[in-house]
Amino acid sequence: MKLLRYGKVGAEKPGLLDADGKIRDLSGVIADVNGSTLSPASLRKLAKIDPATLPLARGRPRLGACVARPLNFVCIGLNYADHAAETGAPIPKEPIVFLKALSAYHGPNDDVKMPRGSKKMDWEVELGVVIGTTARYVPEADAMKHVAGYCVINDVSEREFQAERGGTWDKGKGCDTFGPTGPWMVTKDEVKDPQNLRMWLDVDGKRMQDGSTKTMIFNVQQIVSYVSHFITLQAGDVIATGTPPGVGLGKKPKPVFLKVGQTMHLGIEGLGEQMQTVVAA
C-alpha cells in the first residue's frame, strides 16, 4: 500500500496510490496520514479497502510530505561505508544521530530554497523509515515491529554551514525546505528487503549518486533500536538513514555544489521519485 498526502500547502488530504498510479482520496476514511493512521491495526484496516471504491483526486495535484509533520525528524550521518570513504571520514563505531529541524520537512517535488549566504549546498538521496508505534529502549530483535513503512528523502545539506560555522551539523541540515519527503510511504509488507534497494540522484540530468542500501554500515533494524535508546520514537516519526557515495562534497578533483536554477531528480527502487528545483531564499 502506498499512502500519500496531496493538495495545497497546509491543506493536504490523505490518499493512496492505486494499481494504475492514480490518487484515491482517503479523507472520508482517515483525517490524515499521521501517527494514528500508521499503527498495525489501522494499516490492516486500510489495506482491506478496495481502492476502486474511493473517489479519484482531480487533475494532477501537488504532493505534500507523505506523512504529516512528525514529532521527530531523525537523521543518521555517514552510514554508508563508500560515502564515508569519499569524504575521508572514518567508519563510525556507532550510528551518528542528529535531528533535522521540522521547518526542513517538505513536499517531494516542491522547490528547495538556497539559504542566504550559501556557497556549498549539496544533495543526499536517503532511505526514509516511518515509525508506526512508539519505540522506547527497543531491542534489535523487536525493532521492525515499530516500522510502518519506507519513503524517499533528500537530506539537502549546506556543507559550509555544517562543518565550517561552529562545528555542529544542525545549521547545515535544518534550513527551510531541506527535507523533501515522499512521494508516498510504502508499507513495509511491500518492501521485501530494505537492505537491497537501488537508489540514485541526478542533477540537471547528470547521474551523481548511484548506490544501494546494501552498503549501509548500520541497517534499519539496528538504527531503529539504537535511536530508541536516546530518543523516544513516536508513531509518525521519520528517520533518514544515510546516503550512498556521489554527494557534491565528495566529487573529485574538487567538490561540486548546487546553484540556483538547477534541478535534483532522485528515487529509490520501489519507493518512487522526487524532483526539486533550487530557488533563492
What fold is seen in the domain 73-280?
A: Fumarylacetoacetate hydrolase; domain 2 (3.90.850)
For the cut 90, the answer to whether the pLDDT of residue 83 exceeds it is: no
Band of pLDDT at residue 87, cut at 50, 70 and 90: confident
The one-character DSSP state at 91 is: P
Mean pLDDT of 233-243: 98
Q: How would residue 88 be classed by pLDDT, with cut points 50, 70 and 90? A: confident
Cell of 75: 537523521
Of 38, 37, 15, 35, the closest CA to residue 25 belongs to 15
SS3 assignment, position 203: strand
Domain boundaries, the chain: 2-53, 73-280
The residue whose grid cell reads 520501489 is 270
- For the chain, what is the mean pLDDT? 96
pLDDT, residue 168, reads 76
For residue 63, the SS3 value is strand
pLDDT in tens, 246-269: 999 999 999 999 999 999 999 999
Look at residue 211 in the predicted model and tell me its pLDDT: 96
Res. 49 pLDDT band, cuts 50 70 90? very high
What pLDDT, on a 0 to 100 scale, did the predictor assign at position 213?
97
Are 148 and 109 a contacting pair, CB within 8 Å? Answer: no
Enumerate residues 6+ apart whose C-beta is below 8 A from 205. Answer: 265
pLDDT tops 90 at residue 85? no
What would the pLDDT profile of 157-187 be if each residue is shown by its tens digit?
Answer: 999 999 888 877 889 999 999 999 999 999 9
Q: pLDDT-based confidence at 90, cuts 50/70/90?
A: confident
pLDDT band at 82 (very low <50, low <70, confident <90, very high): confident
Percent of the chain with pLDDT over 90: 93
DSSP, residue by residue, 9-63: TT--EEEEE-TTS-EEE-TTT-S-SSGGGSSHHHHHHHHTS-GGGSPBPPSSPPB
Give the separation between CA 101 and CA 116, rounded to whole angstroms.
Answer: 17
Cβ neighbors of 252 (< 8 A, separation 6 or more) are: none
The three grid cell numbers given for residue 112, joined into one nine-digit string: 528547495
Q: What is the pLDDT of residue 81?
A: 85
3-state secondary structure of 207: strand
Q: Which of 8, 108, 111, 106 is nearest to 57 (CA)?
A: 8
Task: Examine residue 183 and say whether the peptide bond preceding it is cis (omega within 30 degrees of 0).
Answer: yes
Residue 153 near residue 126 (C-beta atoms within 8 A): yes
The mean per-residue pLDDT over the stretch 194-218 comes to 97
pLDDT digits (tens, 9 = 90+) for 110-143: 999 999 999 999 999 999 999 999 999 999 999 9
Residue that has been written with the C-alpha cell 529502549 in this structure: 137
